[in-house]
Amino acid sequence: MLITPAGLAALPGASVLDVRWRLAGPPGLTSYRERHIPAAVFCDLDTDLAAPPTPPAPGGRHPLPEPAAFQAAMRRLGVSGARPVVVYDDADSTAAARAWWTLRYFGHPDVRVLDGGFRAWTAAGLPVETTAPDVHPGDFTAHPGGMPVLSAEQAGALPANGVLLDARAPERYRGETEPIDPVAGHIPGAVNAPTAANVDASGHFLPPARLKTRFESLGVTPATPTGAYCGSGVTAAHEVLALHLAGVPAALYIGSWSDWITSPDRPIATG
């Protein structure tokens, strides 16, 4: 699921997607235009990896795109089912993990995340480009269901017989602050597991053994029903990737907290 810069440089024929994205900006496209990995194509997290949000309707801030829309986006970016896809962001793989998860959910068999992202690529002294490549349309066909998902009801019930991980920062989990969504707090019974602890200071994922130890300390084992959520299903995809690296299959609540709070009937916990 991960690939090194040297591994990507030696991988022929792969589709490379630049998924640089920051919630508060600047736009990832600006960074892409300044410089990017040769032959990489910019993939917009907000429009290519999510459907338009329709607040206050259910679905959250980054709803799952419809199969036809996602298929059209990936074909426009040159993605084919028969070729590997490598995705990357700036460094910590938060946005890249959303691309990894979405491609896997829609049935792509070979998706890899560039560990350490663009920062690792440039640190290795590998070449960069400033011009966008000519893209030959791909033939990827989207088949939903390749990764497990949780509905709001399933996420709320999971703590009774499994572990539901909240991937947000501790202060947001505790409800002390909420800079993005209109309501603060967390799903009752969820365990806080910030994604920042999945990577080291350089943005590389921790070794699988260390990830396994981390998740075990939170009550997660390969036999434990496990799910993850965040604010809108982006950082939680990073959590799911880290869990997979640790040998733990996990489901994603794609709507996450921004979907949970759309119903006044759903309970909210703080502290």
Q: Residues with catalytic annotation?
A: 230
CATH dotted code for 2-123: 3.40.250.10
How confident is the model at residue 55, as a pLDDT?
A: 74
- pTM greater than 0.95 (yes/no): yes
Give the HSE-up count for residue 74: Cα atoms under 13 Å, Cβ half-sphere: 32
Q: How many CB atoms lie within 10 A of CB 171?
A: 14
Give start-end residues of each CATH 3.40.250.10 domain in the chain: 2-123, 152-260
Tokens 């460094």 belong to which residue?
91
How many helices (H) and strands (E) the chain has is answered by: 11, 9
Rounded to a whole number of angstroms, the CA Rg of the chain reads: 18
**Per-residue model confidence as pLDDT tens digits over 190-214:** 999 999 999 999 999 999 999 999 9
d(CA 103, CA 80): 11
Q: Indicate the residue type of 154.
A: Q
Out of 3.40.250.10, 2.50.20.10, 3.40.50.10860, 2.60.120.620, select the CATH number for domain 152-260.
3.40.250.10
- Please state whether 4 falls in left (phi above 0), alpha (psi between -120 and 50) or beta: beta
Q: What pLDDT is recorded for position 23?
A: 82
Alpha carbons within 13 A on the beta-carbon side of 153: 0
pLDDT in tens, 116-167: 999 999 999 999 999 999 999 999 999 999 999 999 999 999 999 999 999 9
